[in-house]
Amino acid sequence: MDQEILNQVLSILLPALATLIAGWFAVLGNKIKVAYEEKINTQIKKQVVQSTVEYVEQVYKAINGDEKLQKAIEQATIILSEKGILISEVELRMLIEAAVYGLKQGFNGEGLNNPSTPSLYADPEEEEG
């Protein structure tokens, strides 16, 4: 009798346990996939923004400040949307400024120790005052 009850309990619990474990693996797999895609998208965003900043610096030499920033925002937004990658304006501006800072450091050979390095996209009048 005890063996019969144990067999019935196991026949009910084993499929439920297997379903629970499979569900847990599905959730875990999805979380890993999302994290991986987020990491890849972040890398793509940085690469696109870096290339865009270099492009804008090369092609739009005659313009300064806000105009260059707008050109960089427009170009990066187009490229990223073509790749199906969403980006907020705040994140895009942050990545552009970081890329500009890195580009400027490459130009003048200075490191992070120079806090007065102006942004290539900043309004020159704001930096003077």
Q: Is 48 in contact with 82 (CB distance < 8 Å)?
A: no
Cα angle at 16 between 15 and 19, to 5 degrees? 85
Integer Cα distance of 23 and 3 in angstroms: 30
State residue 124's pLDDT score.
47
- Could you tell me the pTM of the whole model? 0.66
Name the token pair of 82: 């073509």
State residue 72's pLDDT score.
94
For residue 114, the SS3 value is coil
Residue with tokens 């427009």: 74
Integer Cα distance of 59 and 48 in angstroms: 16
State residue 117's pLDDT score.
44
State residue 42's pLDDT score.
92
Integer Cα distance of 83 and 66 in angstroms: 26
C-alpha distances in angstroms, 81 versus 39, 51, 86, 87, 88? Answer: 17, 15, 7, 9, 11
Residue 123 sits at φ, ψ, to 5 deg, of -70, 120
What is the number of domains present in the chain? 1
User: What domain range is 50 assigned to?
Assistant: 2-128
Integer Cα distance of 44 and 91 in angstroms: 13
Residue-wise pLDDT tens for the chain (129 aa)?
788 888 888 888 999 999 999 999 999 999 999 999 999 999 999 999 999 999 999 999 888 888 999 999 999 999 999 999 999 999 999 999 999 998 888 766 554 444 444 455 555 454 444
Residue with tokens 């890398």: 43
State residue 40's pLDDT score.
94
